[in-house]
Structure 1
Amino acid sequence: MNHPAIISVSKLSNWVTQIKQSSINKRWQEVLSLYNHKNKSGVQLTEPSLFHPLLKACSAISFTHGESLHASVIKLGVESCTSIANSIMDFYSKTGLMNSTLNVFNGMETRDSVSRNILISGYIDHGDFDRGIYLFMQARELGFEPNVSTLVLVIQAIHNLGILHEAQKMHGYMIKTGFLSVSSVRNSLLLMYASISMEFAQKVFDEMSDRDVIAWSVMISGYVRSGKSHVALAAFKEMLSQFRTEVDGQTVVSALKACTSLKNRITGRTLHGFILHKGFHHDMFIGNSLIDMYSKCNDPDFAFQAWKYMPIRNIVSWNSLLSGLVCNGKHSEAINLFDSMQKSKIEPDAVTLVNLLQVCKHFANPLICKCIHTVTLRKNHELNKLIINTLVDVYAKCNLICFAEKVFNLMKIRDTVSWSTMIAAFTHCGLPDEAIEVFNEMMRTQEKPNAVTVLNLIEACSYYSEMKRPKSAHGIAIRLGLATETIVGTAILDVYSSYGDIVTSKKVFHQIINKNVISFSAMIAACGMNGLPRDALCLLTEMEMHGIKPNSVTILSVLSACSHGGLINEGLSFFQKFIKSQEVKPSLEHYSCLVDLLSRGGKLDLAMELIDQLEKGQNVGASAWGALLSGCRTSYNGNNNIQEIVVKHVLESEPNNSNGYMLASNMYAARSLWDAAARFRAMVKDKQVKVVAGYSMVHVDNACFKFIAGDRNQFLLKEIFDTVEELHKCMKMKKIQVN
């Protein structure tokens, strides 16, 4: 029987050198060819140091060869060699077969630190963080000494899991073993803490005697992520001025994100100058961040300049600028950019299509929407939920609800966003019954609604004149545990307020857990609208006591409440306080509300004087003149000259709006100037101005009926006459009882 020759390494030194050299140069095919050639000639490999390069080659290009090599090791009886077993473990680990890796580990007679490092690193590399950390803790009890790379991987695993007590244990272990002196390990610890607790990260950072650029970058990005962008910028400035540390691209990107978060365009421009000075503008990632920063700081022109001077652009660059133009209302420019994108042979992706759909929503252009839908199908994006949900929304905004419903019905998998979007689509198109039916269908599918779903449902229910549907929506919000959320509670109180149920509005308001400026503003507006101006002012005081500063909407609501409640002096005092604070810049809408306040109080001269002052700087528009005209109608001692001037301005500013003509006519009618009143009503007919008539609504047998003055609906007339007759009988009975 012939046995294959077993040749020592010394006789095959040239062959061994060739394999090792090929492995160093990563010529894996050459490594396996050399091995196969000798293997076919009957030479058996016994040198342990050669198994590692051979198995590395197998993991790179041929798993089958690796299994075969493992079988050869078992056949030769050299699997007891720890270094060979480690190489086999490393092969299985790199190919993702962790069960096979563990089997080899368990079958080893002698294990060393390398064995445990390979096993722990393998589990963590393939995403099994819990198992990797468990094995690490287990190995520590046996006196295992990890290498730096394994320790960094374990720290990253704890970072991914976000477990603070495990992070603290690891910190203590590093101090005890002296690994904290290794910069890579120390920076990994800092990164781990920065993702879990910036307080602990700051403590570690403060204790570091030598902080490199990575440590600074970790702290700056950590503060940006935790919502403390002002601290991040302060750290960046300290890094530059105090320590003179040379920054890298990642640190600059974090600083740009801080500017974006704070909408700090001035600091962003300064940072842009620094980027140009350091030559970082050639970095495409930094260039994209600059575009994003300028776009979100409402400076699309500078965003375009940053994009224009980028030496190299990718799809992210185009999309960042496109998104910036859309967000800043530059819709025509966005379409032009897309044309340039097509000319440059840049293929649109999902983000591009979503941005273009937002442009369609602005223009309400069904043709463009259908074209983008076609592109979506051609690019196989029909499974992209973001695109499909946006399509449903845009079709609805283009009043193509049938297309929106068709796209929705073709969706194979619907999430909460999909259902919410369809409910909003039907509501937008004035189909509340269909919107509510979609919600009911959603509930039947066991899909859990979120706050946005409930908001859309509330809006749909508010279409009905009776309170039954809105109350049902309120009940659903309570059952889902969403009624106490700020955004949902605010919407509910607003609905009750619009129905005149201010008592329930107040109850809902008090049940909101985290009240903010929006919820307070809504409640102030509700009190003003329902004739409780004093309550509105009390809410303003309560709001300020909670440290919540009023915004422009709050101020408008307070002024409106004072105006409708006849609190002229209080309204004027509040407006003067608002002007002095300079926290919110007064807009034309605020001044129009002030004109309304003065006009309702009969101070027409003061209102006219205010408008004259405003006219010097800008066109006050129809709202201010309309408020003054309404005041002229109710004030019988008004200056006739003012009345004529006001009527002229109102009709000039909105010649096709019937409100101005009706107000003027009613004003003259109130003074018994019937010829003048008739003249303005005739002008409405002559100019063919559309008049939207006011109407009343009554409920009969759970049905709602609408009628206007002069309505000849016989059913309604009979019902009204019957009701009046009943009221007359009741009044007679009351009179008899009183007598």
Structure 2
Amino acid sequence: MYKIWLESATVEPTIGAFKLDMRVPSGTNLCNWHLKLKELSTNGKWVELLCHYHQVNKAGLHPTHYSDFPPILKACSNLLSYSYGKSIHGCLIKTGCDSYTSIANSTMDFYIKTRDPDSASAVFNSMRWRDQVSWNIMVYGSLDLGNLEQGLWWFNKARVSVCGFQPNTSTLVLVIQACRWLRAAIYEGLKVHGYVIRGGFCYISSVQNSLLSLYAEDDDMESAHKLFDEMSERDVISWSVMIGGCVHCGEAQNGMKMFRKMVCELGIEPDGVTAVSVLKGCTSLRDLTMGTSLHGLVIYRGLDSDLFVGNSLIDMYAKCGDADSAFKVFEELPQRNRVSWNSMLSAFVHNERYMDALSLFYSMGKEGINADEVTLVNILQTCKHLHLGHSKSVHCVTIRWRFESNELLLNSLIDAYAKCNSIELAWKLFERMKKRDVVSWSTMIAGFTQCGRPDQAIAIFGEMTRLQAQDDQKPNEITLINLFEACSVSAELKWAKGAHGIAIRRALSTADQVAIGTAIVDMYSKCGAIGESRKVFDQISEKNIVSWSAMIAAYGMNGLAHEALALVEEMKLYGAKPNAVTTLSMLSACSHGGLVEEGLSLFNSLVQVYGIEPRLEHYACVVDMLGRAGKLHMAMDFINNIPEGLKVTGENAAWSALLSACRSYSNSDVGAVAASHVLELEPESSTGYLLASSIYAAGGLWVDAASIRRMVKEKEVKVVAGYSLVYVDNKACRFVAGDIDCHSLAAGEMHSIVELLHACMKTEKRNAGNFDIID
């Protein structure tokens, strides 16, 4: 910054390391002074201008003409020399020159640019005569300093106080931007639009583009389209605003059409802002082809060096499932900021490449880029799929960098601990939180449910509802859906009906009603109350494809395969087209209902009839169906025929289904093959080890069974026990091998349960004739 010492004549003024010659030139007079001042002002030589003024004062020639002072004040504004400008203001007051309107305007402008709006307001209030420049300075100055509400107040006052007030273009643009930034002032924006039309400003492109942005950011695309159609000249900014507005309002397809018209028909060259908007549209539509084409255009136009464009390309490729291309863009960025690293980290997480995400996180530290809360939230999405130690490490970083006040990060930590089956750590963190929002409570409810402790999840919900009056926290639809899931896991029909009652008592929007209704359908089906599921399903006024799929799945999991397939035909009558999830529910229904031929026919017609390319889940479901029917070799052949492209994404679900079927049919030959694949694909899951051990033990291969058990201990695989659920007196009782909780039951209850089990086994024996009862 320039340092100017002009207050004392005994000190030579300096600028940086240069000393200025302060000797008074011979022959200096007021006429020469005025011409010199005008020349220096025209050329923008502000330092020389102030020094020249000091020379004249030192020579005893004091300028008194009012036109000499505005350039001096302008020099003080440009050099941000507040103290010197204030001293000149004092001189103006002493000489009486401050009464001139032009000088007062220059003084106000000086105070505005040196960020002293109070002094500018004082000068304005002391003026005898104010012109349009005076009002423009106060309006523009307030808005430029960020005082938006005050700026709009000055603008409205100017319109009332000055007959025929004419704001300059820059002031009018700032007024419209203030209405845009103050979302509550959209009505004020409409009034400004009317003023623009009446004042004849509607043909100025910068004003029109500002109005377009006002409507687009307020999601009023109807008004934006009307204004856009009325524009006689549209530049790249106009098109970019409209494309971005369409994408932001969920009309990405229309945005893409506008972009094609802009480039192909009109030949307008897109800029970086256009590219970012179009890339967001491609991301929204998951249109990788369009995104790749735009990437080529970005390179051709030389926009690939734009950091915002580069980050948008990473996000587009990530959301479209092409993490490799995203990483290539990341590597080729000429410069990267923290957003670039976070975008790439999110890309790996989104595409389930968790080890690559961890590796990138470590590289980030080596590059000297400090992680922020967004980074840690992203890495926690990775940690919850890996070892608990990673989550603990992130927790340590959170404490060390003092991010404990970030609620999003703490909620992500709770979720990560719960997903790693460390619900105790999640609960401790939850209890220590100074402030809990509805997300914290919902995450904790979901955590207990995921860890097989639905009773505590429901208790947490009860505590939340008791405290909501105090903390002003009300359960939202996500909280209720988590509650329904807890009731599903508990399989307590009484609790399920209670949760249903809570949903009824809450006023929910139509969209929420569909989501909540679908969750209730699923909850009742998992409690075995298929009749209640159908009643709730019929009460959903606006069913979507998710609702239909949930009801089809409900029939399937309760063994009503024919009803599930009949519902598909009913769905078609309502004009709903089955998607990949629906067809998966249909295959699952065939699997549980033993409809092998129908299931194979459905799978073979996925592409021709439904236009759905089979995914790995569809193949795994068919394998499960064949396995349940005892067609083990056929199931293994089916797995071997899975396309290689799908095998890359993981085929463990198919092999696990076959391994489970091998245990049911005591087939150790096929089971050995399936076990080798499952243990290779899921070395940290206990399911494969336990199934393989059971198959070997059932076949008398005790050495192999012991070997599998030894591997479990050596690899420290955490064994998750299964359980049996039996209803006694309308109460669900859970039994786990080796669990001592059943001993806490009263003797009468235990006797009733044993009698009920024996009765069930005797019935099965009469029906099938192949059960041995062990007393």
TM category (shorter chain) comes to 0.7 to 0.9
Which of 275, 287, 294 is matched with 1:271 structurally? 294
The match for 2:104 is 85
Q: 1:678 to 1:276 in 2, by over 3 A?
A: closer
Q: Deviations over 1:131-176 (max 9, x none)?
A: 5445545544532111111121222233334566655554454344
Distance 1:609 1:722 in 2: 43
- The one-letter amino acid of 2:414's match is V
Per the TM alignment, residue 499 of structure 1 is displaced from its structure 2 partner at its CA by: 1.0
Farther-moved stretch of structure 1 (700-709 vs 126-135): 700-709
TM-score (ref. length: structure 2) = 0.75
**Residue 390, structure 1, aligned to residue 412, structure 2:** yes
Structure 1 stretch 35-44 or stretch 522-531: which is displaced more? Answer: 35-44
- SS of the residue aligned with 2:129? coil
681, 687, 697: which is aligned to 2:726? 697
CA distance in 2, matches of 1:545, 1:87: 75
Pairwise mapping of residues 394-433 of structure 1 onto structure 2 (< 5 A)? Answer: 394-432=416-454
1:451 aligns to 2:472 (yes or no)? no
Shift of residue 505, structure 1, vs aligned partner: 2.6
Q: Distance in 1 between matches of 2:73 and 2:376?
A: 49
1:305 corresponds, among 300, 308, 328, to 328
Contact 1:20/1:50 (8 A) holds in 2: no
Structure 1 residue 500, shift from structure 2 partner = 1.6
CA-CA distance at 1:715 after TM superposition: 5.7
Q: Classify 1:68/1:588 alpha carbon distance in 2 versus 1 (closer, same or farther; 3 Å).
A: same
Report the more deviating stretch, 58-67 or 426-435.
58-67
- Please list the CA deviations of residues 268-312 of structure 1 after superposition, one character each: whole Å capped at 9, or x if unmatched: 222222222232222232222222222222212222222222222
Normalized against structure 1, the TM-score is what? 0.79
For residue 374 of structure 1, the aligned residue among 396, 407, 424 is: 396
Counterpart of 1:238 in 2: which secondary structure?
A: helix
Contact 1:658 1:691 in 2 (8 A): no
From 226, 249, 262, the counterpart of 2:285: 262
SS in 2 for 1:695: strand
Give, in angstroms, the shift of residue 16 of structure 1. 9.1
Of the three residues 530, 534, 544, the one matched with 1:506 is 534
2:611 to 568, 571, 583: 583
Identity of matched residues, %: 43
The equivalent residue for 1:156 is 177
Contact 2:49 2:72 in 1 (8 A): no
Q: Counterparts of 1:529-544 in structure 2 under 5 Å?
A: 529-544=557-572
Q: Deviations over 1:604-624 (max 9, x none)?
A: 78x966764653456884356
In 1, distance between residues paired with 2:317 and 2:70? 56
**Paired residue type of 1:184:** S
Q: Which consecutive residues of structure 2, in runs of 5 or more, have no partner in the other structure?
A: 1-27, 680-687, 713-718, 758-775
CA spacing shift, 1:679–1:344, aligned 2, 3 Å: closer
1:377 offset after TM fit, Å?
3.5
Counterpart CA distance in 2 for 1:126 and 1:409 is: 44
Q: Is 1:549 the equivalent of 2:577?
A: yes
Distance 1:363 1:269 in 2: 33
Instruction: Tell me the residue number matched to 2:655.
Output: 622
Please say which of residues 150-159 and 701-710 is displaced more in the overlay. Answer: 701-710
Alignment match, 1:183: 205
Q: Which amino acid aligns with 1:257?
A: K
> Over aligned residue pairs, what C-alpha RMSD do you find?
4.6
* Separation in 2, partners of 1:569, 1:395: 44
Deviation at 1:341, TM superposition (A): 2.8
Secondary structure of the residue that 1:492 maps to in structure 2? Answer: helix
CA distance change for structure 1 residues 588 and 181 in 2, over 3 Å: closer, same or farther? closer
Q: Give 2:581's aligned amino acid.
A: V
Distance 1:16 1:501 in 2: 96
Q: Which amino acid aligns with 1:393?
A: D
Indicate if the aligned counterparts of 1:28 and 1:61 stay in contact, CA closer than 8 A: no
Q: Contact 2:723 / 2:734 at 8 angstroms: preserved in 1?
A: no
Corresponding position of 1:466:
492
Return the alpha-carbon distance in structure 1 between the equivalents of residues 406 and 743 of structure 2.
52
Q: Is the 8 A contact 1:23 1:31 kept in 2?
A: no
CA contact (8 A) 1:23 1:57 kept: no
Partner in structure 2 of residue 349 of structure 1: 372
Aligned equivalent of 1:14: 33
**2:317 corresponds to which residue?**
294
| 1:145 paired residue number | 166
Inter-partner Cα distance in structure 1 for 2:61 and 2:447 = 76
Equivalent residues of 1:52, 1:84 under 8 A apart? no
Contact 2:484–2:496 under 8 Å retained in 1: yes
CA distance in 2, matches of 1:457, 1:318: 36
Q: What CA deviation, in whole Å up to 9, does each residue of 1:521-556 have, x standing for no partner?
A: 112211222344454345434544554432222112
Q: Does the CA contact (< 8 Å) of 2:124 and 2:134 recur in 1?
A: yes
Q: Deviations over 1:101-143 (max 9, x none)?
A: 5554444332221122223323433555455445545544532
What are the Cα deviations for residues 562-596 of structure 1, in whole angstroms up to 9, with x where unaligned? 44446667656654543313532123442454466
Distance of aligned partners of 1:213 and 1:574 in 2 relative to their CA distance in 1, 3 Å threshold? same
CA contact under 8 A between 1:661 and 1:680: conserved in structure 2? Answer: no
List alignment gaps of at least 5 residues for structure 1: 1-8, 634-642, 666-676, 728-739
Equivalent residue for 2:586, pick from 558, 568, 571? 558
Instruction: Tell me which residue corresponds to 1:730.
Output: none
* CA–CA distance in structure 1, aligned partners of residues 668 and 400 of structure 2: 63
Shift in CA distance, 478/159, structure 1 to aligned 2, threshold 3 Å: same
C-alpha contact (below 8 Å) 2:487/2:523 kept by paired residues? no
User: By how many angstroms is 1:36 displaced?
Assistant: 12
The residue that corresponds to 2:554 in the other structure is 526
Q: Is the 8 A contact 2:176 2:189 kept in 1?
A: yes
Query: Hey, what does 2:262 align to over in structure 1?
Result: 239
C-alpha distance after superposition, 1:398-430 (max 9, x if no partner) = 444454444444444443333333443444444
Answering whether residue 749 of structure 2 is matched by residue 719 of structure 1, we say yes
Structure 1 residue 61, shift from structure 2 partner: 4.2
Aligned partner of 1:82: which letter? T
Q: Distance in 2 between matches of 1:585 and 1:291?
A: 27
Tell me if the contact between 1:253 and 1:289 (Cα under 8 Å) persists in the aligned partners: yes
3-state secondary structure, aligned to 2:202: helix
C-alpha contact (below 8 Å) 2:215/2:221 kept by paired residues: yes
Verify the 8 A CA contact 1:15 1:34 in the aligned structure 2.
no
Partner of 1:54: 73
Letter of the aligned partner of 1:695 in structure 2? S
CA distance in 1, matches of 2:435, 2:61: 60
The worse-fitting range, judged by mean Cα deviation, of 57-66 and 262-271 is: 57-66
Local SS of the residue matching 2:726: strand
CA contact (8 A) 2:689 2:708 kept: no
C-alpha deviations, 1:473-516, integer Å up to 9, x for none?
44444444349433333323322221122333334434546533
1:495 counterpart letter in structure 2: M
Superposed CA deviations along residues 666-725 of structure 1, whole A, max 9, x for unmatched, are xxxxxxxxxxx7858998689659996763435579895648899995966643556999
- For the residue of structure 2 that corresponds to 1:697, the secondary structure is strand
Q: 1:721 to 1:353 in 2, by over 3 A?
A: closer
Query: Which residue, out of 201, 205, 221, partners 1:198?
Result: 221
CA contact (8 A) 1:80 1:108 kept: yes
